[in-house]
Amino acid sequence: MGVCGHFAVSWKCLVAMALRLLFLIPAGVPARSGESSFSKPMDNVTVRQGESAVLKCITDNKVSRVAWLNRTTILFAGRDKWSLDPRVILLNNTAVTEYSIKIQNVDVHDEGPYVCSVLTNKKPKSSRVHLIVQVPARIVNVSTDITVNEGSNVTLMCLAIGRPEPTIIWKHHLNRGHKVMSEGEYVEITGITKEQSGVYECSSNNDVAAPDVRTVQVTVNYPPYILNARSTGAPVGQKGILQCEASAVPVADFEWYKEDRRLLNGLNGVKIETKGKQSKLVFFNVSEEDYGNYTCVALNTMGHTNASIILYGPGAVHDVNRASLSPQSLLLLWTVTLLYLFKF
Question: Mind listing the pLDDT tens digit for each residue in 305-343?
Answer: 999 999 998 866 433 333 333 444 344 334 433 443 444
Tell me if 35 is assigned to some domain: yes
Give residue 163's domain range: 143-221
Whether the link from the prior residue into 136 is cis, omega within 30° of 0, is no
Query: Are 46 and 115 members of one domain?
Result: yes
203 to 103, 112, 186: CA distances (angstroms): 32, 29, 12
Determine if the pTM surpasses 0.85.
Answer: no
Q: Residue 311 contacts by C-beta under 8 Å, 6 or more apart in sequence?
A: 231, 232, 233, 234, 240, 242, 283, 286, 290, 291, 292, 294
Tell me if 327 is assigned to some domain: no
What is the number of structural domains in the chain? Answer: 3
Question: Mind listing the pLDDT tens digit for each residue in 297-309?
Answer: 999 999 999 999 9
Q: Is the pLDDT higher at 283 or at 182? A: 283
Whether residue 116 contacts residue 68, with contact meaning beta carbons closer than 8 Å, is answered with: yes
| CA–CA gap between residue 36 and residue 221 (Å, rounded) | 72
Q: Which of residues 221, 241, 267 is at a domain's end?
A: 221
| CA–CA gap between residue 212 and residue 220 (Å, rounded) | 26
Query: Are 238 and 165 members of one domain?
Result: no
Tell me if 342 is assigned to some domain: no
Tell me if 124 is assigned to some domain: yes
Nearest to 283 by CA among 230, 228, 234, 231: 234
Tell me if 328 is assigned to some domain: no
Query: Are 254 and 197 members of one domain?
Result: no
Tell me if 181 is assigned to some domain: yes
pLDDT of residue 333: 34
Query: Are 250 and 168 members of one domain?
Result: no
